[in-house]
Amino acid sequence: MTSRRLLLCTDLDRTLIPNGPHAEHPAARPLFKVFCQLPEVVLVYVTGRHPALVQQAIRDYALPQPNFAITDVGTQIYRVTPGPWQPLPGWEEAIADDWQGHSHAQLQAWLSPLTELRLQETDKQQPFKLSYYLSLDDNKQRVLPEIEDRLRQLGVKASVIWSIDAQENLGLIDVLPQNATKFHALQFLQQTLGYSPHEIVFAGDSGNDLPVLASAIPSVLVANASREIRQQAQELAAQNKQTQTLYLATQNASRLGGNYAAGILQGVWHFAPAFRDRLQLRKESP
């Protein structure tokens, strides 16, 4: 990437936010914040959080204010403004058809026979996001296909996204319109803003980031990601013939290590050499 503009897109929890068990280099987040203030950088948060929790994270962790926010695992896209955030026109209309007119409540009722599922709190639900907890002791290899099968019977086109809340030791399941993943939302935003694929870098760490990590979008998996996600990301990228667009951050490739914000910056260094003079992660390229 030789372009001198960058659409920098990152997940929050355990990617930019250091709320996992791994250590964060004390200089990493401040350097990330300074980097994101460059006029050539447009910052996008891509997260499972809803807007109020994104705003809380910005305050609690002294994060830079983004230009855009893709929230609720891709079902909402906002332009970040000083007042209320503004929904990006056209996105909800683009994903609504996948649910074939069925409401959130109707899908919830249709899945109610799957007693292993526990509905997440009201503030974690959205019109196009139906979210559950699943105990890690339950068999996700059986439950996830059952969810998909029941939705197919209803004629619903859905993405069923699995991830893990490591802090709570719980499985997380998000039922989304098929075209409402983080990947599809990023594609929509990229096209709306007029960025080329080589002008984007995405960073993530978890299961709901896999569709992007294994895509043609240049992506970095931060070093603190679990071994399971690292293996899945590599396997999916190989299946999709996209290994050249997946970068695995490591602890020894930068003076800041590769966890959290340091891993994001390491990915920028790798994919966007035009910005290396503003990073100074090390004397030699990682």
| CATH code for the domain of 138 | 3.90.1070.10
Same domain, 267 and 211: yes
Distance between CA atoms of 280 and 273, rounded to whole angstroms?
A: 11
Segment 108-161, tens digit of pLDDT: 999 999 999 999 999 889 889 999 999 998 888 999 999 999 999 999 999 898
Distance between CA atoms of 139 and 115, rounded to whole angstroms?
A: 12
Does 285 map to a domain?
Answer: no
Residue 275: CB partners within 8 Å, gap ≥ 6? 4, 6, 35, 38, 40, 268, 269
| CATH code for the domain of 75 | 3.40.50.1000
Beta-strand relationship, 68-71 and 76-79: antiparallel
Same domain, 201 and 267: yes
Same domain, 61 and 191: yes
Residue 228: CB partners within 8 Å, gap ≥ 6? none
Same domain, 56 and 101: no
Does 286 map to a domain?
Answer: no
Distance between CA atoms of 101 and 114, rounded to whole angstroms?
A: 22
Does 284 map to a domain?
Answer: no
pTM score, whole prediction: 0.86
- Closest among 8, 57, 71 to 266, alpha carbons compared: 8
Q: Last residue of some domain: 134, 153, 177?
A: 177
Segment 105-114, tens digit of pLDDT: 999 999 999 9
- In single-letter form, the type of residue at position 259 comes to N
Which segments in the chain show pLDDT lower than 50? 283-286
Same domain, 85 and 184: yes
Q: What is the DSSP letter of 116?
A: T
Tell me the longest C-alpha to C-alpha distance in the chain. 58
Same domain, 82 and 118: no
Provide the pLDDT for residue 3.
64
Same domain, 65 and 194: yes
Q: Rounded to the nearest 10 degrees, how much is the dihedral formed by the CA atoms of 160, 165, 170, 171?
A: 10
Same domain, 87 and 103: no
Provide the pLDDT for residue 4.
85
Q: What is the DSSP letter of 38?
A: S
Segment 83-95, tens digit of pLDDT: 999 999 999 899 9
Does 1 map to a domain?
Answer: no
